[in-house]
Structure 1
Amino acid sequence: MAGDRARYLAVERKALAWGKWANLFMAFAGIATAWASQSDAMLVDGLYSAVNFVSAIAAARIGARVGLPPTRTRPWGHDFDEVLYVTFRSLILIGVLVFAAFVAGTKIWTFFSGGSVPELVFGPIAVYAVVIVAICLGLALNYYRAYRRTGKRSSILKMETRAALIDGALSLGSGAALLSLPFLEGTVLGPYVPIGDAVIVLVLILAIIWQPLATFRTTLADLAGISAPSGTHAKAARAARDVAREKGYKFHRAAVLQAGRMHWVVVYLDPEQPVRAAEVDAFRDTLAARLEDRIGPTRLEVVVTASDGLSHSRPCPGAATR
Structure 2
Amino acid sequence: MADNRDTERNALTVGKWANLFMAFAGVLTAWLSRSDAMMVDGLYSAVNFVSAIAAARIGARVGLPPTRSRPWGHDFDEVLYVTFRSLILVGILVFAAVVSGLKIWTFFTGGEVPELVFGPIVFYSVGIVIICLALAFNYHRAYKATGKRSALLKTESKAAMIDGALSVGAGAALLSLPFLEDTPLGPYVPIGDAVIVLVLILAIIWQPMATFRKTLADLAGVSAPGDTYAKVLRAARDLAREKGFRLQRAAVLQAGRMHYAAVYIDPEKPVLAMEIDEFQSELSERLENLIGPTRAEVIVTARGQLPASQTLLPKNG
TM range (shorter): over 0.9
Distance 1:202 1:230 in 2: 38
Of residues 128, 147, 150, the one that matches 1:151 is 147
Which residue does the alignment assign to 2:191? 195
Aligned length in residues = 307
Which runs of structure 2 are paired with 1:165-244 in the superposition (5 Å)?
165-244=161-240
Of residues 306, 318, 322, the one that matches 2:302 is 306
Q: Residue type matched to 1:228 in 2?
A: A
Distance 2:305 2:272 in 1: 21
Displacement of 1:75: 1.0
User: Are 2:296 and 1:292 equivalent residues in the alignment?
Assistant: no
User: Which contiguous aligned blocks of 4+ residues in structure 1 show a shift greater than 2 angstroms?
Assistant: 308-311
Of residues 103, 114, 118, the one that matches 1:107 is 103
Displacement of 1:65: 0.4
Distance 1:167 1:242 in 2: 47
Which residue does the alignment assign to 1:265? 261
Of residues 127, 132, 135, the one that matches 2:131 is 135
Q: 1:55 to 1:226 in 2, by over 3 A?
A: same
Displacement of 1:253: 1.1
* Cα deviation digits, residues 267-292 of structure 1 (max 9, x gap): 00101000000000111111110000
Which runs of structure 2 are paired with 1:61-100 in the superposition (5 Å)?
61-100=57-96
User: Are 2:32 and 1:33 equivalent residues in the alignment?
Assistant: no
SS at structure 2 position matched to 1:83: helix
Displacement of 1:174: 0.2
Distance 1:241 1:99 in 2: 52
Distance 1:130 1:87 in 2: 31
TM-score normalized by structure 1? 0.95
Distance 2:5 2:240 in 1: 33
Distance 1:99 1:178 in 2: 20
- Report the aligned-residue RMSD: 0.7
Q: 1:308 to 1:157 in 2, by over 3 A?
A: farther
Which residue does the alignment assign to 1:254? 250
Alpha-carbon contact 1:268-1:309 (below 8 Å) kept: no
Displacement of 1:308: 3.9
Displacement of 1:309: 7.1
Distance 1:232 1:71 in 2: 27
Which residue does the alignment assign to 2:120? 124
Displacement of 1:27: 0.1
Which residue does the alignment assign to 1:16? 12
**Percentage of matched positions with identical amino acids:** 75
Distance 1:310 1:65 in 2: 35
Alpha-carbon contact 1:143-1:160 (below 8 Å) kept: yes
* Cα deviation digits, residues 250-305 of structure 1 (max 9, x gap): 01111000000000000001010000000001111111100000000000100000
Unaligned runs of 5+ in 1: 312-322
Distance 1:229 1:287 in 2: 19
Q: Residue type matched to 2:175 in 1?
A: L
SS at structure 2 position matched to 1:216: helix
Q: Residue type matched to 1:298 in 2?
A: T
Displacement of 1:86: 0.2
Q: Residue type matched to 2:160 in 1?
A: A
Distance 2:29 2:306 in 1: 60
Q: Which moved more, 1:289-298 or 1:69-78?
A: 69-78
Displacement of 1:94: 0.3
Q: 1:308 to 1:174 in 2, by over 3 A?
A: farther
